[in-house]
Amino acid sequence: MEVFFEWFRVLYDETGINLPFLYDSYDRNRMVDGFFMTVKLSIVCLFFSVVIGVVGAWLQNSPLKWTRRIVNVYIQLFRNTPPLVQLYFFYFAISSLMPTVDNGFGGQQPMLGGFAWAAISLSFFAGAYNVEIFRAGIEAVPNSTIEAAEALGFSRLTTYVYITLPLAFRVALPSLNNNLVNLVKTTTLAYAIAVPEMLYEANQIWSDNVNVTEMMIFLLLIYFALVGVLVWGMNSWERKLKIPGFGN
């Protein structure tokens, strides 16, 4: 393995193509950490944004007026502001208003760090879109199906969980797909609040080594691969969930 990595040092000396995240073990570790940080942040945000979407869409159809209003305010707030502004807002504004905890070195630090705020903020951001995506799916479920469920004695919740959601989910999947791809790409913004994800580490590496071109090409390819894996997974899921005769 070392021989393989050393080859890239030779490549740099011979050609000027500088890929320090391969031959320099320190840069390599940061890049690997950055990659897993991106993966971790993506998975956490994907999970919570879908949960927010499902719950939000259910609450949006609530018979209670104020529940519906609160959900709508949330959607408008997070859909109509830039995600970077939201990140800064959470990290610099909200965080400073929250209680602090001991940092273990005799000082004080905020309760939540950059990663937690990035996960919260991006989940809410993508969640707002997911609510609308699921709502579109729910509205596509024929009323007669829901009436049939009611006739069979299903409650509002059980109708939603067993009848509406499974059908709505299949309708919503293509646009959900789209939004989740966007979410993975949006995780790069976390670099503004110093979450050491891939773009952040790449930025450090290109600043230290002045190899902007190489790092940009590398970043583009690796995000292409990462999002490609997600798209492939979502598409095969879409195919598996397909019910013959429904939705087309």
Query: Distance between CA 94 and CA 89 in Å, rounded?
Result: 6
Pick from 10, 43, 148, 221: which binds other proteins (CB under 8 A)? 10
Pick from 106, 142, 153, 245: which binds other proteins (CB under 8 A)? 106
Q: Is 26 in the site for other proteins (CB under 8 A)?
A: yes
Least gap, CB of 22 to other proteins (angstroms)? 14
Cross-strand bridge partners of residue 101: 109
Q: Is 53 in the site for other proteins (CB under 8 A)?
A: no
Are the beta carbons of 191 and 114 closer than 8 angstroms?
A: no
Pick from 213, 221, 237, 247: which binds other proteins (CB under 8 A)? 213
Q: Is 49 in the site for other proteins (CB under 8 A)?
A: no
Least gap, CB of 206 to other proteins (angstroms)? 8
Q: Which stretch binds other proteins (CB under 8 A): 37-45, 55-63, 94-102, 122-130?
A: 94-102
- Site residues for other proteins, 120-179, by CB under 8 A, read none
Token pair 């071109």 is found at: 213
Kindly tell me which of 192 and 227 has the beta carbon lying closer to other proteins: 192
137 is written with which tokens? 């799916």
Query: In Å, what is the CA distance from 59 to each residue of 62, 74, 209, 229?
Result: 5, 12, 51, 32
Query: Distance between CA 112 and CA 121 in Å, rounded?
Result: 12
Half-sphere exposure in the Cβ direction for 51 (13 Å, CA): 9
Single-letter residue type at 36: F
Pick from 64, 151, 157, 210: which binds other proteins (CB under 8 A)? 210
202 is written with which tokens? 């790449």
Which residues in this chain contact other proteins in the complex, by CB under 8 A? Answer: 7, 10-11, 14-17, 26, 92, 95-96, 100, 103, 105-110, 113-114, 192-194, 200, 203-204, 206-210, 212-213
